[in-house]
């Protein structure tokens, strides 16, 4: 047995060739080329993005967070104060967010809304972890009550629904990664799903902050070159063409895993509707995580502890000390899963 973190992703070279012929015909491979435009349309359709949102492709999921924040600040013409959770990936506290307020997670797995947080920030960045969703209404209601901006980091949560709609549709913006480690990713890429009132600012910022439609275009200090190329978009499109198969097979794997483990171990909190597209299975295994990790790796099952907290706050530290992230993708057989389950159950 050999279970990798991600499934084997084959390239449909004919599809890529046909897509890039569109770029060749226009002699445009970047700056919002025809294939990037097609990718944005496909994301909207495949991932069920609402009409009141714009879909904007960018170079990667990290940039997506930064430019989502920057577009809201550009719209307001001022620097805003942001908070994020300690159990998340570093980009939420890097670059232009290096001065962000980092708070613990709560027992529901999302940013802890402390009593004084409303007095400290203008907006919050909440991570939907590994395909699991937080109690989204809690954050939407809090932000509406206190007039705050809300961004969801959905880097690994591309197709998890909450109250009947894709979790990407919530907040003022949500961000998505097409990194190769993600179920729907190929190579490198990202996207921002954003309220339309901010989209023109975001498109300007990913183009060095230059508005090419202006009579006298000038650059903006919040901008940079965050544009996706048609080459990246073509490879992502040819992978997304397999969405139905990827989703169906992955859900079968996830459900089989949970049928074997649900009454025996705990998982990372999840408030989504049924059948979320998880990027991995997040098992909470108090005092047994390292033993099980060692045993799984001895059986050639790649697994890991993730995320290492940005700050070692109490709840995030507890989760990190006891979590084990296990592959759950469409290359895995029931035999693979049975072996993994037996290893887990024999060590708890």
pLDDT score recorded for residue 324: 98
Question: Which pLDDT does position 345 carry in this prediction?
Answer: 97
Mean pLDDT computed over every residue of the chain: 98
Query: What are the structure tokens assigned to 46, written together?
Result: 């495949």
Helix/strand/coil for 204: helix
Residue length, the chain?
348
SS3 24: helix
Nearest CA among 33, 1, 85 for reference residue 232: 33
Per-residue model confidence (pLDDT) at position 140 = 99
Tokens in use for 337? 């899963």
Q: What is the CA radius of gyration of the chain?
A: 20
In this structure, what DSSP letter does residue 113 have? Answer: -
- Quick one: tokens of 164? 């009947």
Query: Residues 6 or more apart from 89 whose CB is under 8 A from it?
Result: 127, 153, 155, 307
Task: Write the secondary structure of 41-91 as one string of H (helix), E (strand) and C (coil).
Answer: HHHHHHCCCCCCEEEEEECCHHHHHHHHHHHHHHHHCCCCCEEEECCCCHH
Could you tell me the strand order of the sheet in which 323-326 lies? Answer: 266-267, 281-284, 323-326
Output the pLDDT for position 253.
Answer: 99
- DSSP of 125-189: EEE-GGG----HHHHHHHHHHHT-EEEEE-TT-SS-EETTEEGGGSSSEEEEE--TTSTT--SS-
This prediction has a pTM of: 0.97
Q: Average pLDDT per run of 10 along the chain, which is 348 residues long?
A: 96 99 98 98 99 99 99 98 99 97 98 98 99 99 99 99 99 99 99 99 98 91 98 99 99 98 96 98 96 98 96 98 98 98 96
Maximal C-alpha separation, the chain? 70
3-state secondary structure of 124: strand
Domains and CATH numbers, the chain: 13-240 (3.40.640.10), 243-345 (3.90.1150.10)
The pLDDT assigned to 4 comes to: 98
Which segments of 40-148 are extended strands (E)?
Answer: 53-58, 82-85, 101-103, 123-127
Q: How many CA atoms lie within 13 A of 241 on its CB side?
A: 17
For position 213, what pLDDT does the model report?
87
Q: How many CB atoms lie within 10 A of CB 306?
A: 16
* Residue recorded with tokens 């059948």: 275
* Backbone φ, ψ for residue 239 (5° rounding): -75, -45
């Amino acid at each position: 047995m050999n279970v990798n973190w991600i499934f084997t992703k084959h390239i449909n070279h004919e599809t890529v060739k046909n897509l890039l012929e569109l770029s060749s015909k226009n002699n445009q491979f970047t700056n919002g080329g025809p294939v990037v435009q097609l990718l944005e349309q496909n994301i909207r359709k495949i991932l069920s993005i609402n009409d009141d949102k714009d879909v904007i492709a960018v170079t990667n999921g990290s940039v997506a967070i930064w430019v989502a924040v920057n577009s809201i600040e550009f719209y307001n013409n001022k620097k805003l104060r942001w908070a994020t959770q300690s159990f998340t990936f570093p980009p939420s506290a890097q670059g232009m967010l290096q001065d962000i307020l980092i708070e613990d997670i709560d027992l529901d797995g999302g940013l802890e809304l402390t009593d004084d947080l409303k007095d400290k920030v203008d907006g919050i960045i909440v991570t939907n972890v590994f395909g699991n969703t937080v109690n989204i209404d809690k954050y939407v209601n809090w932000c509406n009550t206190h007039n705050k901006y809300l961004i969801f980091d959905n880097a690994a949560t591309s197709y998890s629904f909450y109250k009947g709609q894709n979790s990407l549709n919530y907040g003022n913006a949500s961000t998505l990664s097409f990194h190769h480690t993600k179920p729907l990713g190929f190579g490198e890429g990202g996207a921002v799903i954003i309220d339309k009132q901010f989209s023109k600012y975001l498109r300007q910022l990913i183009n060095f902050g230059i508005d090419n439609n202006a009579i006298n275009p000038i650059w903006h200090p919040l901008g940079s070159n965050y544009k996706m190329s048609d080459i990246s978009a073509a490879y992502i499109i040819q992978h997304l063409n397999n969405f139905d198969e990827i989703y169906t097979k992955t859900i079968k794997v996830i459900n089989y895993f949970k049928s074997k483990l649900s009454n025996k171990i705990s998982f990372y909190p999840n408030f989504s509707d049924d059948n979320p597209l998880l990027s991995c299975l997040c098992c909470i295994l108090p005092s047994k995580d390292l033993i099980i990790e060692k045993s799984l790796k001895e059986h050639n099952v790649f697994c890991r502890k993730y995320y290492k907290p940005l700050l070692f706050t109490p709840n995030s530290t507890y989760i990190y000390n006891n979590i084990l992230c296990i592959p759950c993708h469409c290359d895995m057989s029931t035999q693979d899963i049975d072996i993994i389950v037996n290893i887990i159950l024999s060590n708890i």
